[in-house]
Structure 1
Amino acid sequence: MAAEIWIAAFVALFVWWFSTGAILVAVRRAERHGRAAHVANTALGLPLLVLGCAMIGTAGPGIAGVYSGFLGALAIWAWIELAFLSGVITGPERRACPERIAPLARFVRAWRTVAHHELALLAGLLAVAALGIWQGAGQANGPGGETALWTYLILFIARISAKLNLFAGAPRINTEFVPKPLAHLPSYFRQGPVTLIFPVSITVLSFAVACFLRQLWLAESDPAIVAATLLTALSALALAEHWLMVVPLPDAKLWRWMLPSPSRPIQKEGKTHGL
């Protein structure tokens, strides 16, 4: 039992770190060649999207099925994030936010900067749910499909929460890894004291960690243990990323060393969000 827990926790941590770094490397390299390279990156990444769907749809029972569902959901998420950071799937608003603007107008403009991305994430969630239901239709619990759905749902909720906190206010905001196609995005962030959104976010994510830990404690089969460990680790990483909006730790160093030299000056304040 202990071996399955440690292996699953390592897999969750490594895949989170590696996939985030791989996307950042691809985007940074494309920046040297302009928008055509970003579009090509997104197109060349389409097999990742197809592979993710296939991994969820064909996930069998047992531990292998759990890992297949987990990695499949991450693959779908990774392609959508690649398309976003490449400036291919963002939103109709691509101008910086004016300095003096009413709060409601600022929110509307901020939504329009990421509207297409948010709709793509929602479409991904619906696709993962549909694939999970189809995959589990002929099995007792469909462990692969269920793990995929929870994996994507954790990422979905954490990403929306992070964006709301960046918009409303956070002490530490890093724009170091913001690519050129999204250069207008930081103008919609607000660096300052946290708002009520932050404690709500922390409470929700802490509750998620506690629930998955309880599942891990009650798990009786190896697939259930692996699934609960993966989801506990992923939700804990999401929680840690939120705390890093407040706690001054140099987390950007996790990826900075592996990236090509940027084609513009680096801004070194704050944090970045993982995949």
Structure 2
Amino acid sequence: MTSPWIASLIAIFVWWFSTGAILVAVRRADRLGSHGMTTFMGLPLLAVGVWAVAASLHDASVFGVYVGFAGALAIWGWIELAFLAGVITGPMRDDCPPGLAGRDRFFRAFSTVAYHELALTIGLWGLVIASDGAENRIALAIYLVLFIARILAKLNLYYGVPRINTEFVPLRLNHLKSYFRRGPVTLAFPAAITILTTLLAVCAERLWTAGADVTVAGYALLTAMAGLALLEHWLMVVPLPDAKLWRWMLPPQKTMSKEER
């Protein structure tokens, strides 16, 4: 698995499969009302992720790179599962009042995801501390790419983009739709594209000049993840049916009253 093409394909497949698995789990939780239990049952994923990251830190081999990559995604995946299940979100669970704007809208929107942002930040700092002096810091690098992309995506959904796919928004997060803004792009979009394109270019350049197999594998994974992050942002403006990637595997969604959230 030292080929950059194989590493990139692995990253793309894991991204697609893990996203689908989380969506299926959350959709099932919506239908059964088992959001807390779903998050609890996912704790082994978090534990395996922490173990994998710890095991990879001083394993400067190709295998160690893949273990660190998997560990970072497992940690990230559990936090996303907890968020989409409505367990780790924020203190605000109500819709955005009509006409709310400016700082009031921003802080109200932030309060809908504040605990989630805190969890992601704790995960990042945990990896920063654990990776200090480590031979293999791929887990930190992968998590950081995901972290940057997520922050930029949330800002663009808040400030406005032409295309917003709300099909997969879970029932317990239905109120978040009222904080999205569908419209012309703002300065947040070119800023995000510039940041992610630069990140992709840096990773690709390091991959191109990499010599050792372990370096090739690491930067191939990072390049693929940076490319996916950039693609996800372009899909906010380019009308492509990206939802079809996962729609076929999901059970029908039930409705939920406001009292059930």
Normalising by structure 1, what TM-score? 0.90
Q: For 2:28 and 2:92, locate their aligned partners in 1 and report how far apart those are by CA, in whole Å.
A: 25
Which segments of 5 or more consecutive residues in structure 1 lack a partner in the other structure?
137-141, 266-275
1:47 matched residue in structure 2 = 44
Q: For 2:119 and 2:185, locate their aligned partners in 1 and report how far apart those are by CA, in whole Å.
A: 28
Q: Deviation string for 1:129-161 (max 9, x for gaps)?
A: 222226x1xxxxx12xx1111100000010000
1:125 Cα shift?
Answer: 0.4
Matched, 1:153 2:150: no
- Does the CA contact (< 8 Å) of 1:5 and 1:225 recur in 2? yes
Q: For 1:130 and 1:54, locate their aligned partners in 2 and report how far apart those are by CA, in whole Å.
A: 15
> 186, 207, 210: which is aligned to 2:198?
207
Q: For 1:225 and 1:101, locate their aligned partners in 2 and report how far apart those are by CA, in whole Å.
A: 49
Which segments of 5 or more consecutive residues in structure 2 lack a partner in the other structure?
257-261
What letter matches 1:214 in structure 2? E
Segments of 4+ in structure 1 off by > 4 A?
A: none
- Does the CA contact (< 8 Å) of 1:169 and 1:190 recur in 2? yes
Matched, 1:237 2:228: yes
Matched, 1:66 2:78: no
Secondary structure of 1:259's counterpart equals coil
Q: For 1:102 and 1:8, locate their aligned partners in 2 and report how far apart those are by CA, in whole Å.
A: 45
5 Å matches for 1:5-20?
Answer: 5-20=4-19
CA RMSD, 1 decimal: 1.3
Q: For 2:255 and 2:92, locate their aligned partners in 1 and report how far apart those are by CA, in whole Å.
A: 23
Q: For 2:255 and 2:107, locate their aligned partners in 1 and report how far apart those are by CA, in whole Å.
A: 29
> 33, 53, 56: which is aligned to 2:53?
56
Q: For 2:221 and 2:180, locate their aligned partners in 1 and report how far apart those are by CA, in whole Å.
A: 31
Q: For 2:178 and 2:75, locate their aligned partners in 1 and report how far apart those are by CA, in whole Å.
A: 28
Q: For 2:194 and 2:218, locate their aligned partners in 1 and report how far apart those are by CA, in whole Å.
A: 22
Secondary structure of 2:31's counterpart equals coil
- Does the CA contact (< 8 Å) of 1:216 and 1:224 recur in 2? yes
What letter matches 2:47 in structure 1? V
2:163 matched residue in structure 1 = 172
Q: For 1:160 and 1:217, locate their aligned partners in 2 and report how far apart those are by CA, in whole Å.
A: 28
5 Å matches for 1:106-255?
Answer: 106-133=105-132, 136=134, 142-143=135-136, 146-255=137-246
Q: For 2:17 and 2:101, locate their aligned partners in 1 and report how far apart those are by CA, in whole Å.
A: 40
1:199 Cα shift?
Answer: 0.3
Percent identity of equivalent pairs: 58
Aligned pairs, how many? 254
